[in-house]
Amino acid sequence: MKITRIEAIPFAIPYRKPLKFASGEVHVAEHVLVRVHTDEGVTGIAEAPPRPFTYGETQAGIIAVIEKLFAPQLVGSSLLERETMVALLGRTVGNPVAKAAIDMAAWDALGRTLGLPVTELLGGYTDRMRVSHMLGFDEPAAMVAEAERMRETYGITTFKVKVGRRPVELDTAVVRALREALGADVELYVDGNRGWTASEAARAMKEMADLDLLFAEELCPADDVLGRRWLVSHLDVPFIADESAVVPADVTREVLGGSATAISIKVARTGFTHSQRVHHLAEGLGLEVVMGNQIDGQLGSMCTVAFGSAYRLTSRRAGELSNFLDMADDLLTEPLEIRDGELVVRPGSGIGVEVDADKLAHYRQDT
Ligand code: MUC
Ligand code: MG
Protein backbone atom coordinates (compact mmCIF):
# COMPACT_ATOMS: atom_id res chain seq x y z
CA MET A 1 0.00 0.00 0.00
CA LYS A 2 2.97 2.34 -0.44
CA ILE A 3 2.86 5.32 -2.80
CA THR A 4 5.50 4.94 -5.52
CA ARG A 5 4.63 7.83 -7.86
CA ILE A 6 2.26 10.80 -8.18
CA GLU A 7 1.44 12.14 -11.65
CA ALA A 8 -0.09 15.54 -12.46
CA ILE A 9 -1.45 15.64 -16.01
CA PRO A 10 -2.85 18.87 -17.51
CA PHE A 11 -5.89 18.56 -19.74
CA ALA A 12 -8.31 20.99 -21.39
CA ILE A 13 -11.93 20.41 -22.41
CA PRO A 14 -14.01 23.34 -23.70
CA TYR A 15 -17.36 24.35 -22.28
CA ARG A 16 -20.28 24.42 -24.72
CA LYS A 17 -21.56 27.36 -22.73
CA PRO A 18 -19.26 29.36 -20.45
CA LEU A 19 -20.26 29.77 -16.81
CA LYS A 20 -20.20 33.40 -15.64
CA PHE A 21 -20.48 34.65 -12.06
CA ALA A 22 -19.46 37.68 -9.98
CA SER A 23 -15.85 36.61 -9.30
CA GLY A 24 -14.97 35.16 -12.72
CA GLU A 25 -15.95 33.04 -15.69
CA VAL A 26 -14.94 29.65 -17.06
CA HIS A 27 -14.76 28.90 -20.80
CA VAL A 28 -12.45 25.88 -20.85
CA ALA A 29 -11.98 23.24 -18.16
CA GLU A 30 -8.18 23.50 -17.85
CA HIS A 31 -7.87 20.96 -15.05
CA VAL A 32 -5.21 18.56 -13.76
CA LEU A 33 -5.68 14.79 -13.55
CA VAL A 34 -3.84 13.49 -10.49
CA ARG A 35 -2.82 9.82 -10.37
CA VAL A 36 -1.42 8.18 -7.25
CA HIS A 37 0.39 4.89 -8.00
CA THR A 38 1.23 2.22 -5.43
CA ASP A 39 3.68 -0.66 -5.12
CA GLU A 40 0.78 -3.11 -5.59
CA GLY A 41 0.09 -1.74 -9.08
CA VAL A 42 -3.01 0.20 -8.00
CA THR A 43 -3.70 3.70 -9.37
CA GLY A 44 -6.02 6.16 -7.64
CA ILE A 45 -7.39 9.16 -9.56
CA ALA A 46 -8.79 12.62 -8.84
CA GLU A 47 -9.31 15.92 -10.62
CA ALA A 48 -7.91 19.34 -9.65
CA PRO A 49 -9.89 22.32 -11.06
CA PRO A 50 -7.73 25.47 -10.60
CA ARG A 51 -9.70 28.58 -9.62
CA PRO A 52 -7.23 31.48 -9.58
CA PHE A 53 -9.98 34.02 -8.80
CA THR A 54 -10.93 32.12 -5.64
CA TYR A 55 -7.84 30.32 -4.28
CA GLY A 56 -4.97 31.74 -6.38
CA GLU A 57 -3.98 28.43 -7.96
CA THR A 58 -3.34 27.89 -11.69
CA GLN A 59 -3.04 24.73 -13.76
CA ALA A 60 0.75 25.23 -14.13
CA GLY A 61 1.09 26.03 -10.41
CA ILE A 62 -0.77 22.89 -9.35
CA ILE A 63 1.49 20.73 -11.52
CA ALA A 64 4.63 22.47 -10.23
CA VAL A 65 3.74 22.16 -6.55
CA ILE A 66 2.80 18.48 -6.95
CA GLU A 67 5.93 17.58 -8.92
CA LYS A 68 8.41 19.68 -6.98
CA LEU A 69 7.10 19.51 -3.40
CA PHE A 70 4.23 17.11 -2.72
CA ALA A 71 5.23 14.02 -4.72
CA PRO A 72 8.77 13.84 -3.27
CA GLN A 73 7.34 14.29 0.26
CA LEU A 74 4.67 11.60 -0.09
CA VAL A 75 6.39 8.84 -2.07
CA GLY A 76 7.02 5.97 0.34
CA SER A 77 3.96 6.77 2.52
CA SER A 78 1.37 4.05 3.13
CA LEU A 79 -2.19 4.79 1.97
CA LEU A 80 -3.24 4.10 5.56
CA GLU A 81 -1.13 7.01 6.85
CA ARG A 82 -3.63 9.64 5.79
CA GLU A 83 -3.05 11.89 8.80
CA THR A 84 0.72 11.75 8.25
CA MET A 85 0.19 12.68 4.60
CA VAL A 86 -2.06 15.60 5.58
CA ALA A 87 0.62 16.78 8.01
CA LEU A 88 3.30 16.55 5.30
CA LEU A 89 1.13 18.51 2.84
CA GLY A 90 0.39 21.02 5.61
CA ARG A 91 4.06 22.05 5.72
CA THR A 92 3.30 24.06 2.57
CA VAL A 93 0.80 26.89 2.99
CA GLY A 94 -2.03 27.40 0.48
CA ASN A 95 -2.48 25.20 -2.60
CA PRO A 96 -5.79 23.71 -1.38
CA VAL A 97 -6.88 22.28 -4.73
CA ALA A 98 -3.54 20.53 -5.40
CA LYS A 99 -3.58 19.03 -1.88
CA ALA A 100 -7.24 17.99 -2.17
CA ALA A 101 -6.69 16.11 -5.43
CA ILE A 102 -3.77 14.14 -3.96
CA ASP A 103 -5.85 13.32 -0.89
CA MET A 104 -8.82 12.09 -2.95
CA ALA A 105 -6.61 10.08 -5.35
CA ALA A 106 -5.00 8.42 -2.29
CA TRP A 107 -8.47 7.54 -0.91
CA ASP A 108 -9.43 6.17 -4.35
CA ALA A 109 -6.27 4.04 -4.37
CA LEU A 110 -7.06 2.83 -0.83
CA GLY A 111 -10.59 1.84 -1.84
CA ARG A 112 -9.32 0.01 -4.92
CA THR A 113 -6.68 -1.78 -2.83
CA LEU A 114 -9.25 -2.92 -0.26
CA GLY A 115 -11.93 -3.63 -2.89
CA LEU A 116 -14.33 -1.21 -1.14
CA PRO A 117 -16.18 1.96 -2.22
CA VAL A 118 -14.73 5.18 -0.80
CA THR A 119 -18.21 6.41 0.17
CA GLU A 120 -18.58 3.39 2.47
CA LEU A 121 -15.11 3.89 3.94
CA LEU A 122 -16.09 7.50 4.66
CA GLY A 123 -19.48 6.90 6.24
CA GLY A 124 -21.87 4.86 4.07
CA TYR A 125 -25.04 6.77 4.98
CA THR A 126 -26.76 6.48 1.56
CA ASP A 127 -25.81 5.86 -2.07
CA ARG A 128 -27.19 8.98 -3.77
CA MET A 129 -27.66 12.72 -3.74
CA ARG A 130 -30.33 15.03 -5.07
CA VAL A 131 -28.84 17.41 -7.64
CA SER A 132 -28.90 21.21 -7.53
CA HIS A 133 -28.10 23.00 -10.79
CA MET A 134 -26.09 26.25 -10.81
CA LEU A 135 -27.33 28.93 -13.23
CA GLY A 136 -24.64 31.38 -14.44
CA PHE A 137 -25.24 35.01 -15.51
CA ASP A 138 -27.47 35.52 -18.53
CA GLU A 139 -30.69 37.23 -19.53
CA PRO A 140 -33.76 36.21 -17.46
CA ALA A 141 -35.40 34.35 -20.38
CA ALA A 142 -32.26 32.31 -21.09
CA MET A 143 -31.81 31.38 -17.41
CA VAL A 144 -35.47 30.36 -17.15
CA ALA A 145 -35.13 28.26 -20.33
CA GLU A 146 -32.04 26.52 -18.93
CA ALA A 147 -33.78 25.74 -15.63
CA GLU A 148 -36.84 24.40 -17.47
CA ARG A 149 -34.62 22.19 -19.64
CA MET A 150 -32.83 20.86 -16.53
CA ARG A 151 -36.13 20.04 -14.86
CA GLU A 152 -37.59 18.41 -17.96
CA THR A 153 -34.50 16.45 -19.01
CA TYR A 154 -32.95 15.50 -15.66
CA GLY A 155 -35.72 15.98 -13.11
CA ILE A 156 -33.71 18.67 -11.27
CA THR A 157 -35.88 20.84 -8.99
CA THR A 158 -33.25 22.79 -7.00
CA PHE A 159 -31.44 25.76 -8.57
CA LYS A 160 -28.64 27.99 -7.34
CA VAL A 161 -28.79 31.35 -9.10
CA LYS A 162 -25.61 33.36 -9.54
CA VAL A 163 -26.11 36.98 -8.43
CA GLY A 164 -23.82 39.89 -7.56
CA ARG A 165 -24.23 42.12 -10.64
CA ARG A 166 -24.95 45.83 -10.58
CA PRO A 167 -27.57 47.19 -10.48
CA VAL A 168 -29.00 44.49 -8.24
CA GLU A 169 -32.22 44.52 -10.30
CA LEU A 170 -30.36 42.63 -13.05
CA ASP A 171 -30.32 39.63 -10.72
CA THR A 172 -33.51 40.09 -8.74
CA ALA A 173 -35.41 40.13 -12.06
CA VAL A 174 -33.90 36.73 -12.91
CA VAL A 175 -34.86 35.17 -9.57
CA ARG A 176 -38.39 36.57 -9.87
CA ALA A 177 -38.69 35.23 -13.44
CA LEU A 178 -37.50 31.80 -12.29
CA ARG A 179 -40.01 31.65 -9.42
CA GLU A 180 -42.84 32.77 -11.69
CA ALA A 181 -41.97 30.29 -14.45
CA LEU A 182 -41.08 27.28 -12.28
CA GLY A 183 -43.72 27.67 -9.57
CA ALA A 184 -43.67 27.17 -5.83
CA ASP A 185 -42.32 23.62 -5.83
CA VAL A 186 -38.74 24.26 -6.93
CA GLU A 187 -36.03 25.22 -4.43
CA LEU A 188 -34.17 28.47 -5.27
CA TYR A 189 -31.14 30.03 -3.60
CA VAL A 190 -28.64 32.70 -4.59
CA ASP A 191 -24.82 32.98 -4.61
CA GLY A 192 -23.17 36.39 -4.95
CA ASN A 193 -19.49 35.35 -4.98
CA ARG A 194 -18.76 38.52 -2.96
CA GLY A 195 -20.05 40.77 -5.77
CA TRP A 196 -22.26 43.11 -3.72
CA THR A 197 -21.68 45.34 -0.74
CA ALA A 198 -23.59 44.47 2.41
CA SER A 199 -26.13 47.22 1.77
CA GLU A 200 -26.64 46.20 -1.88
CA ALA A 201 -27.16 42.64 -0.72
CA ALA A 202 -29.66 43.75 1.92
CA ARG A 203 -31.61 45.71 -0.71
CA ALA A 204 -31.62 42.78 -3.12
CA MET A 205 -32.76 40.34 -0.43
CA LYS A 206 -35.56 42.74 0.58
CA GLU A 207 -36.67 42.90 -3.03
CA MET A 208 -36.73 39.08 -3.17
CA ALA A 209 -38.42 38.65 0.23
CA ASP A 210 -41.56 37.14 -1.34
CA LEU A 211 -39.65 34.62 -3.50
CA ASP A 212 -39.20 31.94 -0.80
CA LEU A 213 -35.42 31.61 -1.07
CA LEU A 214 -33.76 28.65 0.62
CA PHE A 215 -30.32 30.18 1.28
CA ALA A 216 -28.12 33.16 0.44
CA GLU A 217 -24.41 32.49 -0.22
CA GLU A 218 -21.38 34.83 -0.10
CA LEU A 219 -23.41 37.89 -1.12
CA CYS A 220 -20.69 40.28 0.09
CA PRO A 221 -17.02 39.80 1.11
CA ALA A 222 -16.29 38.24 4.50
CA ASP A 223 -13.48 40.81 4.83
CA ASP A 224 -16.13 43.54 5.16
CA VAL A 225 -16.40 42.15 8.64
CA LEU A 226 -18.96 44.39 10.33
CA GLY A 227 -21.00 44.91 7.16
CA ARG A 228 -21.32 41.18 6.62
CA ARG A 229 -22.21 40.53 10.27
CA TRP A 230 -24.90 43.20 10.02
CA LEU A 231 -26.26 41.68 6.79
CA VAL A 232 -26.37 38.13 8.18
CA SER A 233 -28.13 39.32 11.35
CA HIS A 234 -30.86 40.95 9.24
CA LEU A 235 -31.60 37.98 6.95
CA ASP A 236 -34.30 35.42 7.61
CA VAL A 237 -32.60 32.66 5.56
CA PRO A 238 -29.36 30.80 6.37
CA PHE A 239 -26.29 32.57 4.98
CA ILE A 240 -23.80 30.12 3.45
CA ALA A 241 -20.07 30.72 3.75
CA ASP A 242 -18.38 29.20 0.69
CA GLU A 243 -14.99 30.60 -0.37
CA SER A 244 -14.67 32.48 2.96
CA ALA A 245 -14.76 29.25 5.01
CA VAL A 246 -12.58 26.53 3.50
CA VAL A 247 -10.96 24.86 6.52
CA PRO A 248 -12.37 24.26 10.02
CA ALA A 249 -10.66 27.34 11.47
CA ASP A 250 -12.36 29.54 8.84
CA VAL A 251 -15.73 27.95 9.58
CA THR A 252 -15.30 28.52 13.32
CA ARG A 253 -14.24 32.14 12.77
CA GLU A 254 -17.03 33.02 10.34
CA VAL A 255 -19.81 31.28 12.24
CA LEU A 256 -18.85 32.34 15.76
CA GLY A 257 -18.26 35.87 14.45
CA GLY A 258 -21.83 35.99 13.12
CA SER A 259 -20.79 36.23 9.45
CA ALA A 260 -22.31 32.91 8.35
CA THR A 261 -25.01 30.51 9.51
CA ALA A 262 -24.48 27.62 7.04
CA ILE A 263 -21.53 26.26 5.04
CA SER A 264 -20.59 24.83 1.68
CA ILE A 265 -18.26 21.83 1.56
CA LYS A 266 -16.29 21.41 -1.68
CA VAL A 267 -14.13 18.31 -1.87
CA ALA A 268 -12.20 19.94 -4.74
CA ARG A 269 -10.57 22.24 -2.15
CA THR A 270 -10.61 20.13 1.04
CA GLY A 271 -10.32 16.60 -0.34
CA PHE A 272 -11.97 13.87 1.71
CA THR A 273 -9.79 14.10 4.82
CA HIS A 274 -10.26 17.83 5.50
CA SER A 275 -13.87 17.71 4.30
CA GLN A 276 -14.51 15.14 7.04
CA ARG A 277 -13.18 17.60 9.61
CA VAL A 278 -15.38 20.39 8.21
CA HIS A 279 -18.40 18.07 8.21
CA HIS A 280 -17.88 16.98 11.82
CA LEU A 281 -17.44 20.58 12.93
CA ALA A 282 -20.62 21.65 11.09
CA GLU A 283 -22.53 18.82 12.70
CA GLY A 284 -21.24 19.81 16.12
CA LEU A 285 -22.15 23.45 15.56
CA GLY A 286 -25.59 22.53 14.19
CA LEU A 287 -25.07 24.14 10.78
CA GLU A 288 -26.80 23.36 7.51
CA VAL A 289 -24.42 22.09 4.84
CA VAL A 290 -24.57 22.20 1.04
CA MET A 291 -22.17 20.12 -1.05
CA GLY A 292 -20.79 22.74 -3.45
CA ASN A 293 -19.37 22.60 -6.97
CA GLN A 294 -16.03 24.07 -7.98
CA ILE A 295 -17.13 23.81 -11.62
CA ASP A 296 -15.95 20.20 -11.54
CA GLY A 297 -15.76 17.69 -14.36
CA GLN A 298 -17.34 14.25 -14.02
CA LEU A 299 -14.53 12.79 -11.91
CA GLY A 300 -14.74 15.71 -9.48
CA SER A 301 -18.55 15.49 -9.42
CA MET A 302 -18.36 11.79 -8.55
CA CYS A 303 -15.96 12.62 -5.71
CA THR A 304 -18.59 15.06 -4.39
CA VAL A 305 -21.29 12.37 -4.62
CA ALA A 306 -19.04 9.87 -2.82
CA PHE A 307 -18.48 12.30 0.06
CA GLY A 308 -21.96 13.81 0.14
CA SER A 309 -23.65 10.39 0.22
CA ALA A 310 -21.47 9.27 3.11
CA TYR A 311 -23.23 11.37 5.78
CA ARG A 312 -26.78 12.32 6.73
CA LEU A 313 -25.98 16.02 7.01
CA THR A 314 -24.32 16.31 3.58
CA SER A 315 -26.97 14.26 1.76
CA ARG A 316 -29.95 16.10 3.27
CA ARG A 317 -29.79 19.03 0.85
CA ALA A 318 -29.40 18.81 -2.93
CA GLY A 319 -25.69 18.93 -3.92
CA GLU A 320 -24.32 21.12 -6.72
CA LEU A 321 -23.41 18.34 -9.13
CA SER A 322 -24.49 19.21 -12.65
CA ASN A 323 -22.04 21.71 -14.13
CA PHE A 324 -20.26 18.95 -16.05
CA LEU A 325 -23.34 18.93 -18.31
CA ASP A 326 -22.06 22.16 -19.90
CA MET A 327 -18.70 20.62 -20.90
CA ALA A 328 -18.29 19.50 -24.52
CA ASP A 329 -16.83 16.13 -23.42
CA ASP A 330 -15.20 14.43 -20.42
CA LEU A 331 -12.57 11.86 -19.51
CA LEU A 332 -14.61 9.01 -18.07
CA THR A 333 -15.25 5.66 -19.75
CA GLU A 334 -18.92 5.78 -18.68
CA PRO A 335 -20.46 9.26 -18.54
CA LEU A 336 -22.39 10.21 -15.39
CA GLU A 337 -26.16 10.20 -15.74
CA ILE A 338 -28.52 12.36 -13.71
CA ARG A 339 -31.91 10.62 -13.46
CA ASP A 340 -35.02 11.78 -11.60
CA GLY A 341 -32.95 14.64 -10.21
CA GLU A 342 -30.40 12.32 -8.57
CA LEU A 343 -26.84 11.11 -9.02
CA VAL A 344 -26.11 7.66 -7.65
CA VAL A 345 -22.74 6.38 -6.39
CA ARG A 346 -21.12 4.02 -8.89
CA PRO A 347 -20.77 0.45 -7.65
CA GLY A 348 -17.22 -0.80 -7.42
CA SER A 349 -14.17 0.01 -5.40
CA GLY A 350 -12.67 3.47 -4.82
CA ILE A 351 -14.62 6.33 -6.39
CA GLY A 352 -16.01 3.81 -8.90
CA VAL A 353 -15.06 5.53 -12.15
CA GLU A 354 -12.31 5.02 -14.78
CA VAL A 355 -10.53 7.39 -17.14
CA ASP A 356 -10.81 6.56 -20.86
CA ALA A 357 -7.23 6.27 -22.20
CA ASP A 358 -8.15 7.57 -25.68
CA LYS A 359 -9.96 10.60 -24.29
CA LEU A 360 -7.07 11.41 -21.98
CA ALA A 361 -4.63 11.09 -24.91
CA HIS A 362 -6.84 13.49 -26.89
CA TYR A 363 -7.30 16.17 -24.21
CA ARG A 364 -4.00 16.05 -22.32
CA GLN A 365 -1.77 19.06 -22.96
CA ASP A 366 1.66 17.68 -22.04
CA THR A 367 2.31 15.45 -25.07
C1 MUC B 1 -19.59 28.69 -6.27
O2 MUC B 1 -20.35 28.15 -5.48
O3 MUC B 1 -19.12 29.77 -5.95
C4 MUC B 1 -17.63 29.62 -8.61
C5 MUC B 1 -16.32 29.81 -8.29
C6 MUC B 1 -15.88 28.68 -7.59
O7 MUC B 1 -14.76 28.47 -7.10
O8 MUC B 1 -16.90 27.81 -7.46
C9 MUC B 1 -18.00 28.28 -8.21
C10 MUC B 1 -19.31 28.04 -7.59
MG1 MG C 1 -20.31 29.79 -3.99
Residue from 306, 293, 292, 339 nearest 127 by CA: 306
In a domain, 365, yes or no: no
Q: Which ligand is nearest to the CA of 54?
A: 1
Tell me if residue 160 is catalytic. no
Which residue among 295, 296, 322, 326 is best mutated to probe the pocket of ligand 1, counting the most ligand atoms within 8 A of its Cβ?
295
Mean pLDDT across 273-288 = 98
> How high does pLDDT run on average in the chain?
98
Known active-site residue 266: yes
Pair (88, 146) in one structural domain: no
pLDDT of 130: 98
Which of the residues 146, 294, 298, 320 is marked catalytic?
294
CA-proximal residue: ligand 1, atom 6 (nearest):
294
Where does the pLDDT of residue 318 fall: very low under 50, low under 70, confident under 90, or very high at 90 and above?
Answer: very high
> What share of the chain in percent tops pLDDT 70?
100
**Residue nearest ligand 1's atom 3 by CA:** 193
Mutational pocket test of ligand 1: of 15, 19, 21, 57, the residue with most ligand atoms within 8 Å of the beta carbon: 21
| Gap between the Cα atoms of 324 and 8, Å rounded | 21
CATH code where residue 94 lies: 3.30.390.10
Domain membership of residue 154 (yes or no) is yes
pLDDT for res 126: 98
293 lines ligand 1 (CB under 6 A): yes
Q: Are 221 and 187 in contact (CB under 8 A)?
A: no
What is the pLDDT at residue 153? Answer: 98
Query: Do 140 and 217 have their domain in common?
Result: yes
Of 58, 81, 115, which marks where a domain is finished? 115
Return d(Cα 259, Cα 228) in angstroms, integer: 6
Same-domain check for residues 83 and 182: no
Same domain assignment for residues 36 and 163: no
Residue 354 domain-assigned (yes or no): no
- Whether 132 maps to a domain, the answer reads yes
Query: 31 lies in which domain range?
Result: 3-115
Q: What is the pLDDT of residue 68?
A: 98
What are 175-214's pLDDT values in tens digits?
999 999 999 999 999 999 999 999 999 999 999 999 999 9
Alpha helices (H) along 190-344: 198-207, 225-234, 248-256, 267-270, 273-285, 298-308, 312-316
* Single residue among 86, 115, 144 that ends a domain in this structure: 115
In terms of domains, do 98 and 124 share one?
no
Q: Is the CB of 57 under 6 A from ligand 1?
A: no
The predicted-structure confidence for 209-266, as pLDDT tens digits, reads as follows: 999 999 999 999 999 999 999 999 999 999 999 999 999 999 999 999 999 999 999 9
The number of domains in the chain is 2
**Gap between the Cα atoms of 52 and 298, Å rounded:** 20
Same domain (yes/no): 51, 81: yes
User: Can you name the residues that pair with 254 across neighbouring β-strands?
Assistant: none
DSSP per position, 286-299: T-EEEE--SS--HH
Q: Is residue 361 part of a domain?
A: no
Residue 135's pLDDT band, with cuts at 50, 70 and 90, is: very high
Which atom of ligand 1 approaches the CA of 218 most closely? 3
Q: Are 259 and 157 part of one and the same domain?
A: yes
Asked, for residue 97, whether it belongs to a domain, the answer is yes
Is residue 111 located within the same domain as residue 124?
Answer: no
- Cβ burial of 216 (10 Å; 0-12, 13-18, 19+) is buried
Closest alpha carbon to 219 in 186, 260, 169, 178: 260
Q: Provide the ipTM.
A: 0.98
Environment of ion ligand 2 (residues, CB < 5 A): 191, 242
Whether 201 and 55 map to the same domain: the answer is no
294 inside domain? yes
Share of the chain above pLDDT 90, in %: 99
Residue 292, ligand 1, Cβ within 6 A:
yes
Residue 110: band (very low, low, confident or very high) from pLDDT cuts 50, 70, 90: very high
Three-class secondary structure of residue 350 per DSSP: strand
